[in-house]
Structure 1
Amino acid sequence: MSEASTVLSDSSIQAARELRVLVSRLRRRFLEASDNLELTPSQLSVLSRLKRGDATASEIAAAERVRPQAIATHLGILIERGFVERRPDPKDGRRQLVSLTDAGLELMAGRAQAGQEWLASALDQKYTEAERQTVLAALDLLERLGPQ
């Protein structure tokens, strides 16, 4: 244990632990709520990354912290399934950019919609209006943890 962690309050340590566990559980439920079309978590991660914009295979590999060979395998499957495409980089013809196809964009939008619908339904069924307002207030507080 580092010296910095010894000065943390017990409530901060408990909240961090419980929030991390909750985020992991919610992430799994989001994944379960949408049709993954038999794509692996790594392939879905590549698609999610490409939602942010085009990238080279090397950039994707670096961002995913895997070897370029692993990304090449994932891209091959995603290209074959029609979710991504390669095209020459207009700024550097030696490089290839990878981008989502219309089918890839549709898949990712559908996944996001399915996850949001599941969560809204769960919140509606399991919480009272007052409790949902408490959740909204807590989310405002948690927003401070994000990038400024």
Structure 2
Amino acid sequence: MSRKSSTQISLPSTLAAEIRAIFRKLKLRLREYGGRSELTPSQVAVILRLEEHGPATVSSLARVEGMRPQSMSAVVKPLQQAGLVIGAPDPGDGRQTLMSLTPKCLRWLEEGRTARQDWLTATISQKLSARDQEKLEQALELLKRLAED
């Protein structure tokens, strides 16, 4: 039975720490260009959930986010006031209100994504040579393997 050297054991830990630090920095840079800075993390979570899963009641949003309905109402209300989310009667149960994204919110999401994509594309083009871009492509394949279930 062979023992792993301390270098073999510490390299994965070092790589993990560096990946996390780099992703955090990149995420912060992308946020600068995406227009979400004025929203709280809970508000962003609601918007992304509604975008991915469609209309939902405040109660169901609260349940999936692990919050009380009253707390979720406090998250949703400023989104409604900003014109990003709108409520409409649930066709299946008129006592319930379904929250959904407004066209304004959908445009805002698309503009933010486009701005982030444009910034990242320009940054890659400006800072990385063609050879470095190929290396990045290879590194992304490795990262994809790490992220697979």
Which TM-score band applies after superposition, normalised by the shorter structure? 0.7 to 0.9
Letter in 2 for 1:112: R
Q: Does 1:134 align with 2:135?
A: yes
Q: Partner residue of 2:106?
A: 105
- Does the Cα contact within 8 Å between 1:47 and 1:108 map onto a contact in 2? no
Q: Partner residue of 2:10?
A: 10
Question: Across the two proteins, how many residue pairs are aligned to each other?
Answer: 141
Please state whether the residue corresponding to 1:51 is helix, strand or coil.
helix
TM-score of the aligned structures, taking structure 1 as reference length? 0.82
Aligned mates of 2:37, 2:94 — CA distance in 1? 33
Aligned mates of 2:48, 2:41 — CA distance in 1? 10
* Post-superposition offset of 1:42: 3.1
* Post-superposition offset of 1:94: 3.5
Aligned mates of 1:27, 1:20 — CA distance in 2? 10
* Post-superposition offset of 1:121: 0.9
Report runs of 4+ in structure 1 exceeding 6 Å deviation.
none
CA RMSD of aligned residues (A): 2.1
User: Rg larger in 1 or in 2?
Assistant: 2
Gaps of 5+ in 1: 1-7
5 Å-filtered alignment, 1:36-115, equals 36=36, 38-52=38-52, 53-115=54-116
> Structure 2 vs 1, CA of residues 67 and 21 (structure 1 numbering), >3 Å: closer, same or farther?
farther
Aligned mates of 2:66, 2:123 — CA distance in 1? 34
- Does the Cα contact within 8 Å between 1:48 and 1:108 map onto a contact in 2? no
Bigger shift: 82-91 or 133-142? 82-91
* Post-superposition offset of 1:37: 7.3
Aligned mates of 2:60, 2:21 — CA distance in 1? 30
